[in-house]
Amino acid sequence: MNPTGTPLTRGPVPGSMADKPFLVVENQFKAPPAYVKAWLTDVREDDRKRWFGEEAPIKILEKRAGYTKYTQPNDMGMATIEVVSDADDRWHAAMIVHKGERITMKGTVRESVRPGPIGTQHRAELTMEPTSFFVRLMMPMMRGKVEKELKGAFGRMKTAMEEEAAAGKSPTA
């Protein structure tokens, strides 16, 4: 639930900006699909620093098998994010960004893994729905920044994940 009591995992409103991907990122990992999914869904408090170089840590509110809820600062306010496993090869993260009681943006990242020619193919589809006029104006300018940050972070994750997989380390260690 967000501060207004609305569930985070609600889907996009048909015909809204959130109905189509804002950005799609595809990756190739040299590790089995189950390992890649477990590794990518294992949210840790230092993830923002490790992958995005940001100092503000993630605050994990709840973590159990197939579900993690956490908060983190965002350019548009404070984000509350729920990561939910949907199936063996799919998961999603629902996000609500708020400033105080006002919601500034909602978003979803739908991710999937499947066997590829050299390991695992990973796909992440980001949808965003600005709920304020200012954020709606900023969306076109944000796309390039978000894409650059995500591609850089996935590059760092790829290196770390492949090294850990090759060394036989657990994906959730």
The structure tokens listed for 104 are 């500034």
Split at pLDDT 50, 70, 90, the class of 105 is confident
Exposure of 41 in the CB half-sphere (CA atoms within 13 A):
31
Q: What is the mean pLDDT of the chain?
A: 87
Q: Is the pLDDT of residue 2 over 50?
A: no
- The residue range of the domain holding 93 is 18-166
Decide if 11 is inside a domain: no
Q: In terms of Cα–Cα distance, which of 56, 46, 53, 108 is closest to 77? A: 56
CATH number for the domain that contains residue 63: 3.30.530.20
| Total tally of structural domains belonging to the chain | 1
Decide if 140 is inside a domain: yes
* Tens digits of residue pLDDT in 121-155: 999 999 988 887 877 787 777 888 889 999 999 99
Decide if 6 is inside a domain: no
Decide if 4 is inside a domain: no
Decide if 42 is inside a domain: yes
CA distance 124 to 112: 7
- Per-residue pLDDT, averaged over 99-115, amounts to 92
Which pLDDT score, from 0 to 100, does residue 162 have?
97
pTM for the model stands at: 0.83
Q: How many residues does this entry show for the chain?
A: 173
Split at pLDDT 50, 70, 90, the class of 8 is low
